[in-house]
Structure 1
């Protein structure tokens, strides 16, 4: 397939327009852990918040219909108590987060999982609590990590990157006449060179902000280390680094050890109040 120069120029113009439309933002202040990376956003916060609120409502409705929503009152109260100490600390990183419509719920599931959607929609799975026999300090580390993803708007950032990547891949495949095979190859190349490395970097940012939120909330930041030691003990072979969305357990433990020490004075100050 041969494209005429005018068509090629139009496609290139579209690609450049997508890049220019990206907005450079600083979603959070650096905090004691010093997260100061600027981000390129193409998708708006309003779009992400609206989509997240709709998805969260659907998840809760499905869980409620199956009797899996907030089934254990003691667990729910425990999780919400921890959230009540972490959420006020978010203002250190972005003051507007204090005005978010935060929601905190517990879902009965064997998954060792938790998440926080854009806008402060939190869910903790009972499998995380029960399988790890998790302490309050460790649970604060998990929740702080998930809250950090929302503060940094990592979901919005990934969506923006994917929009730009998809445009560039489609245009490149068209220019080279590669069709769907070329698009698939472009996706693999993008994920290997940018997508997965960016995902791992986001996880590290969330780890570091998470330990600071926990420390400022009065939870021992060193618990993030014991948490990942427990997670590693669950077993299961980790994928090779270049194929993984997350850093390896050993890398996370090493990094969290350093940053837990960095925010230890904040924890000690909180304890003395």
Structure 2
């Protein structure tokens, strides 16, 4: 979107993230499946779908304008986070990043391949998200794009339908039309695997902590999600299954990412006050262990 949207891609590429501690450990290389599908084609598909979604929403009066406070808020959060994206994928340095906010009651958010970020007003308003909690969601969704989970799914779907021997020649043709219909035409409809979700949680925690968003808010976020799912599950939970195991994994990772966050506050993790939810029935979250205070 050039210099008229979130920021100039060239300027982003020139930003240098400050030196920080190591952060999360144990995240392996991206799936070898991704090598079977050209990244540029998947990113082009993401850009096309995002542009169509945005145009449709604009025509219906459901796309918040650039000067709306929520759009400006999410732009600011993205600008803090995205300088750290190339740590996980060098291609991110040249992605034309974009943030849009859709006026919809859905509790949902996403990031398409190539850096196209979308939030729905439903998730912002119904969960009363703090900036830290927005940072957790944005980090998680951006992590899916950085780790190229959609590209991996498309390759696996193509592999099951065509066989690995046919994939390279198919994608080498550069025909996005038929490919888009058969393999992932709706990049938002396909669910990520449990492994991809865990990886996005972990990488998202790292991104958010480096950008100065409290990782403990991830615990509160999923507690809010569980409360929101008391009736019919929100759309975001249909593709992002929650549960105690997920919260437990976030807590387990806190010792790796809290030093990153503490550094952005010019302090140490043991000196940070508890993270307090704006939902009265959710207990504060304490320090490294991430356990609710008694």
The reply to whether TM is greater than 0.5 is: yes
Contact 2:209 2:258 in 1 (8 A): yes
Taking the aligned partners of 1:91 and 1:158, their CA distance within structure 2 comes to 22
Instruction: State the match for 1:19 in structure 2.
Output: none
- Which one of 217, 220, 223 corresponds to residue 229 of structure 1? 223
Q: CA 1:237/1:130 → structure 2, altered by over 3 Å: closer, same or farther?
A: closer
1:65 aligned onto 2:36: no
Give the alignment's Cα RMSD to 1 decimal: 2.4
Secondary structure, counterpart of 2:134 in structure 1: helix
1:49 aligned onto 2:43: yes
Contact 1:225 1:253 in 2 (8 A): yes
Taking the aligned partners of 2:127 and 2:239, their CA distance within structure 1 comes to 22
Q: Which segment drifts farther, 82-91 or 71-80?
A: 71-80
1:83 aligned onto 2:78: yes
Instruction: State the match for 2:204 in structure 1.
Output: 210
Contact 1:97 1:151 in 2 (8 A): yes
Contact 1:33 1:263 in 2 (8 A): no
Q: Which segment drifts farther, 46-55 or 138-147?
A: 46-55
Number of residue pairs the alignment of both structures matches: 214
Q: Hey, which bits of structure 1, 4+ residues long, moved more than 3 A?
A: 244-248
Contact 1:111 1:127 in 2 (8 A): yes
More helix by share: 1
Contact 1:102 1:119 in 2 (8 A): yes
- Which one of 21, 26, 29 corresponds to residue 34 of structure 1? 26
1:162 aligned onto 2:157: yes
Taking the aligned partners of 2:114 and 2:59, their CA distance within structure 1 comes to 24
Taking the aligned partners of 1:135 and 1:218, their CA distance within structure 2 comes to 13
- Per the normalisation by structure 2, the TM-score is 0.68
- Compute the displacement of 1:166 (Å): 1.9
Contact 1:207 1:256 in 2 (8 A): yes
Unaligned runs of 5+ in 1: 1-29, 169-194, 239-243
1:178-227, Cα deviation, whole Å (9 max, x unpaired): xxxxxxxxxxxxxxxxx97x711101100000011110000100101100
Taking the aligned partners of 2:61 and 2:240, their CA distance within structure 1 comes to 32
Q: Higher Cα Rg: structure 1 or 2?
A: 1
- Compute the displacement of 1:98 (Å): 2.1
- Compute the displacement of 1:31 (Å): 5.7
Unaligned runs of 5+ in 2: 1-21, 164-189, 268-294
- Compute the displacement of 1:32 (Å): 2.5
- Compute the displacement of 1:60 (Å): 0.5
- Compute the displacement of 1:96 (Å): 3.1
Contact 2:30 2:148 in 1 (8 A): no
Instruction: State the match for 1:112 in structure 2.
Output: 107
- Compute the displacement of 1:236 (Å): 4.2
Q: Which segment drifts farther, 204-213 or 41-50?
A: 41-50
